[in-house]
C-alpha cells in the first residue's frame, strides 16, 4: 500500500483555496448583458454546435455539461452525433455544414475522436473548423494569433486560469511561472498566456530532468499532466500559487487512502461512490502553497465559463462583419 505523505509542509499553514466555481459564476454573469444585446441586434441567440463522435463516457459528461450551461445562458445549442464506427469524413462533413450555418457561431468537436478514425483525424477536423467559429482556439489561425499576442479565440482552460489569477489579484508580471505539461490544449497556450503577461516561463514535460527542482523555482506552478497527485509538496516553493488543471478519475482505494487523512470528506465521498476525481496535485501541497485551486471546483468550471465567453465573443465578432 502506498505510504501516506508525511510531508515537509509548513505546519499549520493552509493554502488559500482559489474558488473556480465562484469565478466561473462571475464570468457567466457578465455575459448576460452581452447575450441580451446580441439577441436584440441579431434577432437570435448566439449558437453553439457540438460534434460528438462515439460515446466515450468522459466525453458524454463533458458535452452534457457544456450543452446544459449554454442552454442556461440562453444560447442556441445543437449536438450532432457521429457513430463510433463512423468515418472521419462524417465528422468533416458535419463540421463543413456547421461552418456554413448562419445561426451557429461556435463549433466544438469533442476530443478524443474514436481511434478507428485514424491517427490524424483530429488534425484534419481542426484544420477544417472556420477560425471565426473556433471557440476551442485549436485551429492553426487561432494558435498563430495567440503566439503573436493578437486578439483571437484562446483555448478555454488556460484562458480560465488567467481569468482566475487576475480576478484573485495574483501578480503575474515579473514572476517565475512553471507549466508542467506541453499539450496543445493546455500546457502550450498556458505558457503563452503567462509569457504575454510578462512572467518568466518554463515549460516542463516527461523528459524534464529533476522536475521537482525546476518546479520549485515557480512563483506560479501550473500542473497539466493527467497523473493523480503527481505534484507532491517537494515540487512547491513555500507560498507559491499552484494551479491544478488535472482531472483524474481514481478507483484504487489504497491510493485514495494514502492521499487523504482518515477523517477527510473526500474519503467519505470515495467510500460512497467507489470512485473519486482528483487533480494532478497531491492534497498535502495545501500545507506548502500560498494559494491552490481545488479539484473539483477549481479549473473545471472556469473552462466551461470560458467556452461560453468564447461563443459570445465569436457571435459578436461575426455580427460585426
Q: State which residue, 132 or 218, has the beta carbon closest to ligand NDP.
A: 218
Does 64 sit near ligand NDP (CB under 6 A)?
no
Count of residues in contact with ligand NDP, rule CB under 6 A: 25
209 carries an active-site annotation: no
Cell of 95: 463540421
Of 45 and 246, CB closest to ligand NDP? 246
The active-site residue out of 66, 133, 188, 237 is: 66
Asked if 155 interacts with ligand NDP (CB under 6 A), we say no
Nearest one of 62, 115, 107, 110 to 88, comparing CA atoms:
115
| H/E segment holding residue 78 | strand 76-82
Which of 134, 136, 219, 280 is labelled catalytic? 136
Q: Which of 31, 98, 186, 215 binds ligand NDP (CB under 6 A)?
A: 186
Q: Is 105 a catalytic residue?
A: no
Q: In b/e form, how buried is each residue of 97-126, taking b as 16+ CB within 10 angstroms?
A: ebeeeeebbbbbbbeebbeebeeebbebbb
Q: Please tell me whether residue 225 binds ligand NDP under the rule CB under 6 A.
A: yes
* CA-based nearest residue to 92, from 127, 67, 60: 127
Note whether 187 binds ligand NDP by CB under 6 A: yes
Q: How buried is 171 (Cβ within 10 angstroms: 0-12 exposed, 13-18 middle, 19+ buried)?
A: middle
136 catalytic per annotation? yes
Distance CA 267, CA 228 (A): 15
Which single residue brings its beta carbon nearest to ligand NDP?
A: 183
Would you say 47 or 294 has its CB closer to ligand NDP? Answer: 294
C-alpha cell at 59: 466525453
Which one of 205, 239, 268, 271 is in contact with ligand NDP (CB under 6 A)?
205
Stretch that binds ligand NDP, among 25-33, 49-57, 112-120, 296-304 (CB under 6 A): 296-304
Give yes or no for residue 207 binding ligand NDP (CB under 6 A). yes
Q: How far is the CB of 290 from ligand NDP (least distance, A)?
A: 21
Cα–Cα distance, 219 to 197 (Å, whole number): 14
| The one catalytic residue among 105, 110, 219, 237 | 110
Q: Is 299 in the site for ligand NDP (CB under 6 A)?
A: yes
- CA separation for the pair 26, 28 (Å, rounded): 5
- Give CA separation, 252 vs 265, 277, 281, in Å: 17, 11, 17
- Whether residue 76 contacts residue 98, with contact meaning beta carbons closer than 8 Å, is answered with no
224 binds ligand NDP (CB under 6 A): yes
CB of 102 to ligand NDP, least distance (A): 30
Stretch that binds ligand NDP, among 207-215, 232-240, 251-259, 307-315 (CB under 6 A): 207-215
Cα(264)–Cα(253) distance, rounded to whole angstroms? 14
Contact set with ligand NDP (CB under 6 A): 157, 180-183, 185-187, 204-208, 211, 224-227, 245-248, 299-300, 303
Amino acid at each position: 500500500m502506498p505510504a501516506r505523505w508525511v510531508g515537509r509542509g509548513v505546519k499549520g499553514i493552509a493554502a488559500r483555496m482559489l474558488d473556480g466555481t465562484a469565478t466561473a459564476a462571475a464570468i457567466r454573469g457578465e455575459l448576460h448583458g452581452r447575450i441580451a444585446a446580441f439577441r436584440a441586434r441579431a434577432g437570435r441567440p448566439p449558437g453553439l454546435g457540438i460534434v460528438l463522435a462515439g460515446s466515450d463516457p468522459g466525453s458524454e459528461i463533458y458535452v452534457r455539461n457544456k450543452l446544459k450551461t449554454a442552454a442556461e445562458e440562453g444560447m442556441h445549442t445543437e449536438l450532432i452525433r457521429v457513430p463510433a464506427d463512423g468515418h472521419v469524413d462524417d465528422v468533416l462533413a458535419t463540421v463543413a455544414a456547421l461552418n456554413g450555418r448562419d445561426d451557429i457561431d461556435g463549433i466544438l468537436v469533442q476530443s478524443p475522436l474514436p481511434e478507428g478514425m485514424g491517427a490524424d483525424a483530429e488534425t484534419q477536423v481542426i484544420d477544417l473548423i472556420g477560425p471565426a467559429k473556433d471557440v476551442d482556439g485549436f485551429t492553426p489561425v487561432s494558435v498563430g494569433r495567440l503566439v503573436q499576442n493578437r486578439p483571437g479565440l484562446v483555448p478555454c482552460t488556460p484562458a480560465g486560469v488567467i481569468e482566475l489569477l487576475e480576478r484573485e489579484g495574483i501578480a503575474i508580471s515579473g514572476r517565475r511561472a512553471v507549466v508542467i505539461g506541453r499539450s496543445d490544449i493546455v500546457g502550450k497556450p498556458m505558457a503563452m498566456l503567462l509569457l504575454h503577461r510578462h512572467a518568466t516561463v518554463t515549460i516542463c514535460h516527461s523528459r524534464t530532468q529533476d522536475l521537482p527542482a525546476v518546479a520549485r523555482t515557480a512563483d506560479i506552478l501550473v500542473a497539466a499532466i493527467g497523473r493523480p497527485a503527481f505534484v507532491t509538496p517537494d515540487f512547491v516553493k513555500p507560498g507559491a500559487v499552484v494551479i491544478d488543471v488535472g482531472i483524474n478519475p481514481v478507483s484504487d482505494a489504497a491510493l485514495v487512502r494514502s492521499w487523504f487523512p482518515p477523517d477527510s470528506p473526500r474519503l467519505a465521498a470515495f467510500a460512497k461512490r467507489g470512485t473519486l476525481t482528483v487533480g494532478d496535485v497531491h492534497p498535502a501541497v495545501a500545507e506548502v502553497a500560498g494559494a491552490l485551486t481545488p479539484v473539483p471546483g477549481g479549473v473545471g468550471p472556469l473552462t466551461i465559463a470560458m467556452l461560453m465567453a468564447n461563443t459570445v465573443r465569436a457571435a459578436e465578432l461575426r455580427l460585426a462583419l
